[in-house]
């Protein structure tokens, strides 16, 4: 298995200390890598997905929302 991010150190040798980065925050990393999404965008996507699922369920059920009207 080839993984350039990993390197092997002898067990007897002390591990090298990584340099501390000043911009090493999770928020900065998420923004820099484009993985940070606005909450509004996520909520809109969730709402759209729920609406699509609701429409699909209604289509599968026949879309008859007024089933009680026949009994009058």
**Domain segments of the chain: what residues?**
26-60
Q: How many CA atoms lie within 13 A of 12 on its CB side?
A: 0
For every one of its 72 residues, what pLDDT tens digit does the chain have, with 9 covering 90 and above?
678 778 788 889 888 887 776 667 888 888 888 888 777 777 777 788 888 888 888 888 885 555 555 555
CA distance linking residue 36 with residue 41, whole number of Å:
11
CA distance linking residue 43 with residue 56, whole number of Å:
20
What pLDDT does residue 7 have? 77
Tokens 């820099």 correspond to what residue? 32
Among 56, 57, 37, smallest CA distance to 45 is for 37
What pLDDT does residue 27 have? 85
Task: Supply 10's token pair.
Answer: 């002898």
CA–centroid distance for 72 within its chain:
48
């Amino acid at each position: 298995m080839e993984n350039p991010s990993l390197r092997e150190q002898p067990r007897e040798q002390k591990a090298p200390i990584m340099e501390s980065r000043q911009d090493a925050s999770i928020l900065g990393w998420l923004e820099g890598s484009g993985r940070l999404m606005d909450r509004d965008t996520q909520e809109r996507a969730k709402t759209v997905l729920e609406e699509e699922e609701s429409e699909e369920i209604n289509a599968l059920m026949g879309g008859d929302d007024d089933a009680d009207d026949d009994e009058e």
